[in-house]
Structure 1
Amino acid sequence: MGDYDHAPLLGLPRVATGVAHFLAEGPMWDPIRGRILWVDIMDGAVHQGRFAYGGAIEAEDTVAFPDTVGAVAVSSAGEWLVAGTRRLYVRDVDGGVTAGPELVDVEGRRFNDGKSDPAGRFVVGTKGPGDEQLVQVDLDGVTVLDDDLTLSNGLAWTRDGHTLYTVDTMSRRIHVRDYDPATGAVGVRRVFLEIKKGYPDGMTIDSDDHLWGALWGEGCVVRIAPGGRIVGRVDVPAPHVSCPVFADPDLETLVITTATQGLSPEDLSSHPLSGRLFTVKTGHRGIHPNLWAGTLQSSTPSLEEHT
């Protein structure tokens, strides 16, 4: 049950950026521009960078939004869909930003991690006072998948799109369920894995349908086989590891975000690279990122009206 102490190491990560983020999260490969994107949630910013020599990432642009930014997705046309605090934003290819309707109307709740599903719907969770939600958002509105979570976090679909893994952080559980990409219908949610140490955060999946999950508080990313056994790990010199993703044109570079949030001065002294991004070649390859369908209803009702 979540034992990774004896899992083999899968490469030595190198620090890829020079800036320490408070809460770097949600890295994704933008195949339209050939760039790596990531967010700093509390700064309300989406960062864009390119790969340089030796696995370094050169930051090229930072785009600020009016509130927190939990996640970013990309459409085939190059648009960004950004999860703000209470609403979604669309940034067009010319840089114009359109705010969607308010979807979250509970005080202290905000959007957190989100990704496009294989058909281009946006699936996003919330973080807040409790009974958090995981929802699908598309042209038809909002569909609630879960409404009993402690903190909705990482998501990943298998290569065929018919299995969805999701993280509920504070319960230390990774869930799994059947998923129909054509309709968005989901099967019964089941516990896939319970983590013993640390808290599961963001995750991604490789071309062999193995999950890669960040363990907040443990300074590592673990590789998990489809049967639920932890079969490898990457140790990171930052305790608050938030999310991994496979990036670069060949999807062979694992990019890992970290945070300084919640670290004491003593922690930061012991782990001075906290908040940076890291890269590592693990010998494994990711799958092509799902792209957002590029449609969003302008009058989507709030989540509370769908519970």
Structure 2
Amino acid sequence: MNFHTLCLIISLSVTYSVAKVHYKVAAVEKMQSDLGEGPHWDEKQHVLWHTDINEFKVCRLNVTSQDSECHKLTDIATFVHPYPNGEDLLVSQRNKLVKLNWKTKKVTVLDEVAPELKGQERFNEGQPDKSGRMWLATVTDSLTPGDHSVLPGKGNLWTWESGKGFTKRTDNFYLTNGITWSHDQKKLFINDSRARKIYVFDFDLDKGTVANKTILIDAETRTDWTVNDRPDGLTIDITGHLWASCIGNGRVVKIEPNSGDIVDTCAIPCPLTTTPVFGGPNMDQMFITTAYKNFGPDQRPAHPTCGKVHRITSDDKNFAGSVANRPNL
């Protein structure tokens, strides 16, 4: 081997070596939620909105002071999104979409999905697409007293637009969860927590339709998912990688969106890890809601920060997201 060949090999080795990404995780909330969920970073007010589903609360977190101001509704609240005007919030209240004015605390019911089921089918997730159209994932609760489970195959994906109402887009989910889109707006991703699957659809933004439901990840058959990993919330970073929280296993995983492979993972000091969202002044922080109970044993004795919002920061310049969509209402 001559000198020039040796130098080329060394050069290639240096060029293509990959430095390990470091993550720092810390709780950034004094309050603890029974079931924290539905986070949305408000880039205008620089606060994090989230809900406590089982306590019927909508909360406004100042991540600097770590103080949360909450308003209690009369039923479960699974997600919250600020209106474009910055004064009102779109909130789920079981099977109703409501407008909550944060200053006056006035609640106005906008619409109700599947009213004939009287709330048995309810919202579990909701995200606006790039046009501001709402995509709403539902589950159907068991009616057996004391049974907090949901019925398999009875979850649906709806859209809602002001003046047009609800349109069912697809069905046959177990426990629908996180929703996000590829940057080119050609794919919609959605989790099914109980089925332990992540699905991908072809997406048409103009028509507001999905097609060709395909399994991206089946955690039952993947070696990079443990038996405790159930995909819950979902978001996407600036490189197009998906990030899914794994409730039951206390981690957030980075996923290659074509192969479904886990390419990185960050542990959270709470097994009940619910939903990640990017935020912060430069959109380079990730906030994750967690739960301390959710009808199970209290996790706080073993994991004292359970129920608090946690924040991940990283030395990776690509660890960042985009400003979230707002509903067009």
Alignment TM-score > 0.5, same fold: yes
Q: 1:33 to 1:271 in 2, by over 3 A?
A: same
Secondary structure of 2:238's counterpart equals coil
Q: Which has the higher contact order (CA 8 A, sep 6+)?
A: 1
Q: Deviation string for 1:44-68 (max 9, x for gaps)?
A: 111112231xxxx523421222211
> How much has 1:18 moved relative to structure 2?
2.0
Match of 2:251 among 217, 220, 240: 220
Alignment length (residue pairs): 282
> How much has 1:21 moved relative to structure 2?
0.8
> How much has 1:108 moved relative to structure 2?
3.2
> Are the counterparts in 2 of residues 210 and 225 from structure 1 also a CA contact under 8 Å?
yes
1:44 and 2:61 matched: no
Question: Which amino acid letter does the alignment assign opposite residue 96 of structure 2?
Answer: R
TM-score, normalization by structure 1: 0.86
1:102 and 2:108 matched: no
> Are the counterparts in 2 of residues 10 and 234 from structure 1 also a CA contact under 8 Å?
no
1:80 and 2:92 matched: no
> Are the counterparts in 2 of residues 32 and 76 from structure 1 also a CA contact under 8 Å?
no
CA distance, structure 2, for counterparts of residue 23 and residue 184 of structure 1: 31
RMSD: 1.8
CA distance, structure 2, for counterparts of residue 113 and residue 250 of structure 1: 26
Question: Which amino acid letter does the alignment assign opposite residue 275 of structure 1?
Answer: G
Q: Deviation string for 1:161-189 (max 9, x for gaps)?
A: 22110011111010111212222122211
1:134 and 2:166 matched: no
> Are the counterparts in 1 of residues 31 and 67 from structure 2 also a CA contact under 8 Å?
no
1:174 and 2:198 matched: yes
CA distance, structure 1, for counterparts of residue 53 and residue 21 of structure 2: 29
Deviates more, 1:234-243 or 1:63-72: 63-72
Q: Deviation string for 1:75-126 (max 9, x for gaps)?
A: 2212311011021001246533211233233253321111111110111111
Q: 1:263 to 1:93 in 2, by over 3 A?
A: closer
> How much has 1:279 moved relative to structure 2?
0.5
2:237 maps to what in 1? 206
> Are the counterparts in 1 of residues 30 and 67 from structure 2 also a CA contact under 8 Å?
no
> How much has 1:225 moved relative to structure 2?
1.3
Match of 2:266 among 234, 238, 242: 234
2:222 maps to what in 1? none
Question: Which amino acid letter does the alignment assign opposite residue 182 of structure 2?
Answer: T
Q: 1:157 to 1:221 in 2, by over 3 A?
A: same
1:251 maps to what in 2? 283
CA distance, structure 2, for counterparts of residue 151 and residue 112 of structure 1: 8
Unaligned stretches of 5+ residues in structure 2: 1-19, 142-150, 220-224
1:3 maps to what in 2? none
Deviates more, 1:138-147 or 1:215-224: 138-147
CA distance, structure 2, for counterparts of residue 68 and residue 143 of structure 1: 22
Secondary structure of 1:42's counterpart equals helix
Larger radius of gyration: 2
CA distance, structure 1, for counterparts of residue 295 and residue 170 of structure 2: 27
> Are the counterparts in 2 of residues 47 and 59 from structure 1 also a CA contact under 8 Å?
no
> How much has 1:262 moved relative to structure 2?
4.3
Unaligned stretches of 5+ residues in structure 1: 1-7, 295-307
CA distance, structure 1, for counterparts of residue 22 and residue 136 of structure 2: 30
CA distance, structure 2, for counterparts of residue 99 and residue 189 of structure 1: 32
1:68 and 2:76 matched: yes
Q: 1:174 to 1:15 in 2, by over 3 A?
A: same
CA distance, structure 2, for counterparts of residue 38 and residue 230 of structure 1: 27
Alignment identity in percent?
Answer: 27
CA distance, structure 2, for counterparts of residue 10 and residue 226 of structure 1: 22
CA distance, structure 1, for counterparts of residue 248 and residue 288 of structure 2: 14
1:288 and 2:323 matched: yes
Deviates more, 1:282-291 or 1:126-135: 126-135
Question: Which amino acid letter does the alignment assign opposite residue 244 of structure 2?
Answer: G
> How much has 1:160 moved relative to structure 2?
2.6
Q: Deviation string for 1:231-266 (max 9, x for gaps)?
A: 11110111010011001121111101110224425x
> Are the counterparts in 2 of residues 154 and 201 from structure 1 also a CA contact under 8 Å?
yes
1:276 and 2:308 matched: yes
Question: Which amino acid letter does the alignment assign opposite residue 73 of structure 1?
Answer: H
TM-score, normalization by structure 2: 0.81
CA distance, structure 2, for counterparts of residue 127 and residue 147 of structure 1: 10
> How much has 1:292 moved relative to structure 2?
0.4
> Are the counterparts in 1 of residues 123 and 136 from structure 2 also a CA contact under 8 Å?
yes
CA distance, structure 1, for counterparts of residue 172 and residue 189 of structure 2: 16
